Amino acid sequence: MRPAVLCALCLLPSCLALPLPREAGGMSEPQWKQAQDYLKRFYPSDSKTRDADSFKTKLKEMQKFFRLPVTGILNSRTIEIMQKPRCGVPDVAHFSLFPNKPKWTSEVITYRIVSYTPDLPRFRVNQLVAKALAMWSKEIPLSFRRVPRGTADIMIGFARGAHGDYYPFDGPGNILAHAFAPGPDLGGDAHFDEDERWTDGSRIGINFLIAATHELGHSLGLGHSSDPDAVMYPTYSIRDSKNFKLSQDDIEGIQKLYEEAREEQVQEAGAPLLQVHMILRSPLCMLTQRPQVTISYTEQRLSTCRSAQQGTYFGRYHVTGPESCDSNCCDCQKVHVTQHLPIK
């Protein structure tokens, strides 16, 4: 639950508390708030109208995606799905938002592992990432080459909390990782939450091979699948890593993406989209081109300072400042953005 929601609830006298709507289905208020946050994050609406039925509509959409009875009412099974560890990418693809379905046009894609987890040996992380990419390259005419330094098409790493891409991780559980669709700058990058316990085949913790294969599917342009057997299913489940492989649904999806319109160009305009359509607004300090020198954004009102706190972030940019913010740190007036130095 977000702190802002908590503060709002604390300020609301109990005598003024409103009854939960019928759609709450007898759930508790915390569960109701959790459901609202879940649908807002993973089933965002592109409509600015606040329709009283929007929650019910989105809940039905979520229930349909997960092949649950479509009732539009919260129940224990729906809440159970919402509480499972999962990928941070939305489940809904509005393809009309893309000028082209994002995919790589080069036949050789470079990748770099920028940071590692202490949970696994570095050499093993390297092996597991290579194994995950090999599963995808077996099905499409792409090959992958790891580079030790500099900028690669796909930048991979572990981070916790706010890490420079404006989609902070939330600690242990819930969001495990996220990745961006093919494209410039952040496009193709895959980030894993360092607050998780990453494992190699153990039934305790999160199996890194499974998570990496899923996220790199996003890095190649795939969205989520509603097939529970698919690697691209949004929630995490324990699998036998020795026999782990792509499902037929995954194979058909990636082959269709790269066999249909192989001549199309990679999306070039605008900030990278978190696969499949997490953002349309301009993110905090997001740049569409890598700066060669320090760039200052002056008198730019920003909605949040969360990602602009002083420090270095995982990603492609180093952000310092802000120099001037109000008491709530919600209206930054000046932010300096410099190129993030490669970690060697």
Q: Which residues contact 166 (CB under 8 A, 6 or more apart)?
A: 279, 283, 284, 286, 307
Pick the more confident residue, 52 or 119.
119
- Does residue 195 carry a pLDDT above 70? yes
Q: How confident is the model at residue 108 (pLDDT cuts 50, 70, 90)?
A: very high
Q: Cite the DSSP H helix spans in the chain.
A: 3-10, 29-42, 54-65, 76-82, 122-137, 208-219, 248-259
pLDDT given at position 152? 96
Bridge partners, residue 240, by sequence: none
pLDDT given at position 137? 96
- Does residue 241 carry a pLDDT above 60? yes
DSSP 21: P
pLDDT given at position 88? 75
Question: Residue 269 is which amino acid?
Answer: A
- What does the pLDDT average to over 175-184? 91
Cβ atoms of residues 283 and 274 within 8 Å: no
Cβ atoms of residues 254 and 217 within 8 Å: yes
Q: What are phi and psi of 126, to 5 degrees?
A: -60, -45
* Vertex 91: Cα angle to 220 and 206 (nearest 5): 70
pLDDT given at position 143? 95
How do residues 55-74 score in pLDDT, each as one tens digit?
888 888 888 888 889 888 88
- List the domain boundaries for the chain: 19-83, 96-259, 295-339
Structure tokens at 342: 């490669």
Alpha-carbon torsion, ordered 116, 163, 96, 300, to 10 deg: -150
- What does the pLDDT average to over 73-83? 87
Picking from 216, 214, 220, the residue whose alpha carbon sits closest to that of residue 141 is 220
Cβ atoms of residues 101 and 261 within 8 Å: yes
- What does the pLDDT average to over 167-196? 91
- Percent of the residues in the chain that have a pLDDT greater than 90, as a whole number: 32
Pick the more confident residue, 51 or 8.
51
pLDDT given at position 34? 82
- Does residue 344 carry a pLDDT above 60? no
Instruction: Count the helices and strands in the chain (H runs, E runs).
Output: 7, 12
Nearest-angstrom CA–CA distance, 4 and 9: 9
- What does the pLDDT average to over 223-248? 88
User: Which of 23, 194, 196, 215 is labelled catalytic?
Assistant: 215
Alpha-carbon torsion, ordered 233, 160, 180, 200, to 10 deg: -50
DSSP 114: -
| 175-179 and 86-87 strand pairing | parallel
- Does residue 202 carry a pLDDT above 60? yes
How do residues 286-309 score in pLDDT, each as one tens digit?
222 233 222 222 222 222 333 333
How do residues 113-157 score in pLDDT, each as one tens digit?
999 999 999 999 999 999 999 999 999 999 999 999 999 999 999
> Average pLDDT over the chain, rounded to whole?
70
Structure tokens at 157: 């790493």
Structure tokens at 199: 């494992």
Per the confidence metrics, is the pTM higher than 0.75?
no
> b vs e for 2-25, b when ≥16 Cβ sit within 10 Å of the residue's Cβ?
eeeeeeeeeeeeeeeeeebeebbb
CATH 3.40.390.10 is the classification of domain 96-259: yes
Coil, helix or strand for 128?
helix
pLDDT given at position 24? 63
Most confident of 16-30, 147-161, 328-342: 147-161
Q: What's the Cα-to-Cα distance from 248 to each of 114, 225, 236, 245, rounded to whole Å?
A: 31, 11, 18, 10
- Give the domain 19-83 fold: Muramoyl-pentapeptide Carboxypeptidase; domain 1 (1.10.101)
- Does residue 9 carry a pLDDT above 90? no
pLDDT given at position 216? 97
User: Is residue 215 annotated as a catalytic residue, yes or no?
Assistant: yes
pLDDT given at position 147? 97
Coil, helix or strand for 88?
coil
Nearest-angstrom CA–CA distance, 236 and 73: 24
- Percent of the residues in the chain that have a pLDDT greater than 70, as a whole number: 63
Burial bucket for residue 284 (CB in 10 Å: 0-12, 13-18, 19+): buried
